[in-house]
Structure 1
Amino acid sequence: MIFDEFSIKSLIRPVIDFPKPGVVFRDITPLFQSPRALRMVADSFIQRYVEAEFSHIAAMDARGFLIGSIIAYELNKPLILFRKQGKLPAEVLSAGYQTEYGEAFLEVHADSLCEGDQVLIFDDLIATGGTLLAAAQLVRRMGASIYEAAAIIDLPELGGSQKLQDIGIATFTLTAFGLNER
């Protein structure tokens, strides 16, 4: 089986009306239940970034940790964890953002990055872009810059990838879904 956008889409489960009515949640757990699919997803990102010039990988809480940690390990890059509010033990920087469900806060250890670092920011999905935009704000507050924002899935109708591009952040995803696509 050759990996392509259509094979990955078949392994992403739509969960109707979760976490609230009218939402189609994109469940990536079937990708992790298939060792072959996980390897294909990871290898796709590794091939894209193996010769890229960036210094760190930043992964978003929580599903971004799953693939971000694999990519960081394979590319031998430091992994920076961006967590939901109240989960990190040391001094943090915090940024608020809007999700498709409400307001949230993202935090990172204040000493995670230095001026001049270049960061690949990683999440499982780009929806409204709130999480990745908050991460980008925090990366820039530490004096670092964004190399690219990457995710497995894009939901372009929610505008997140466009918002990232509008502020000069390139995006890359393996696949995209329309809001009502099953």
Structure 2
Amino acid sequence: MTSREGAERRLGELLLSRVRDVADYPKPGIVFKDITPLLADPEAFSALIEALAAIAEERGATKIVGLEARGFILGAPVALRAGIGFIPVRKAGKLPGATLAQRYDLEYGSAEIEIHAEDLSSDDRVLIVDDVLATGGTAEAAVGLVRRTGARLAGLAVLMELGFLPGRERVLAALGDTPYQALITV
């Protein structure tokens, strides 16, 4: 094992040790992955932000796009740490001014997300940041939104991938050759 692999393994263990399983939330049969204990631990939270900022720097990102809502909690400090801008992707109707919108399908129904039309340009390289990749619908829609702005994608990075759900295949198809990275997979 290389020193980088060892460091990645230790980071994964630290992060995973701070994620709490909450049974039957938000409905019976679901085991919710609660990241609030990780956010409350300055060592783990700092390590997470450093790891995501390193990904942004390695990929030459000029902007971080954070997905509502926990992607905001992670994306804003990552952008600050990397010395680049932060752009929120919000639920429809939450941003003032001109927006671009993207609808996407959920397990039951659909949803829509928006970004300010002027926040990204063709000069930008964007790293999309979120907390959890589950079914991949929101991430796939965000990839579409970023591309519609004319910006180039530097990648998609998430804290945690739920490997038992089909999100990876969905986002890999949307990303094409653009890199995807999950810090931990459960």
TM over 0.5: yes
Deviation string, structure 1 residues 94-145 (Cα, Å, up to 9, x no partner): 1111234642111111111112421100100101111111111111111112
The Cα shift of 1:146 comes to 1.3
With normalisation by structure 1, the TM-score equals: 0.90
Paired AA for residue 18 in structure 2: L
Identify the residue that residue 165 of structure 1 maps to in structure 2. 172
Q: Deviations over 1:47-90 (max 9, x none)?
A: 33334312211000110011111110011111110001111111
Out of 58, 63, 73, the position equivalent to 1:66 is 73
**Percent sequence identity over matched residues?**
38
Cα deviation code 1:10-59 (max 9, x no counterpart): 21011111112221111100011111111111122223333431221100
Equivalent position SS for 2:53: helix
- Cα distance in 1 for partners of 2:115, 2:160 equals 23
1:140 aligns with 2:175: no
RMSD: 1.6
Contact 2:106-2:137 within 8 A present in 1 as well: yes
Q: Which runs of 5+ in 1 are unaligned?
A: 178-182
Say how many residue pairs are matched. Answer: 176
Superposition misfits of 4+ residues, deviation over 4 angstroms: none
Rounded Cα–Cα distance in structure 2 between residues aligned with 1:126 and 1:93: 23
Does 1:15 pair with 2:48?
no
Q: Which residue does the alignment assign to 2:59?
A: 52
- CA 1:121 to 1:93, structure 2 compared with 1: closer, same or farther past 3 Å? same
TM-score by length of 2: 0.88
Tell me the distance in 2 between the aligned counterparts of 1:101 and 1:7. 34
Report 1:6-155 matches (<5 A). Answer: 6-100=13-107, 102-155=109-162
**1:4 counterpart letter in structure 2:** L
Per-residue deviation, 1:154: 0.3
Quick one: distance in 1 between partners of 2:74 and 2:81?
Answer: 11
Kept in 1, the 8 Å contact 2:11–2:47? The answer is: no
Q: For the residues of structure 2 that align with 1:31 and 1:100, how far apart are their CA atoms?
A: 28
Q: Specify whether residues 32 and 87 from structure 1 end up closer, same or farther in structure 2 by C-alpha distance, changes over 3 A only.
A: same
Change (3 A) 1:14 1:129: same
Question: Match for 1:174: what amino acid?
Answer: L
Q: What is the distance in 2 between the residues matched to 1:65 and 1:172? A: 18
Instruction: For 2:12 and 2:25, locate their aligned partners in 1 and report how far apart those are by CA, in whole Å.
Output: 24
CA distance in 1 between partners of 2:171 and 2:130 (Å): 13
Q: Where do 5+ consecutive residues of structure 2 fail to align?
A: 1-6
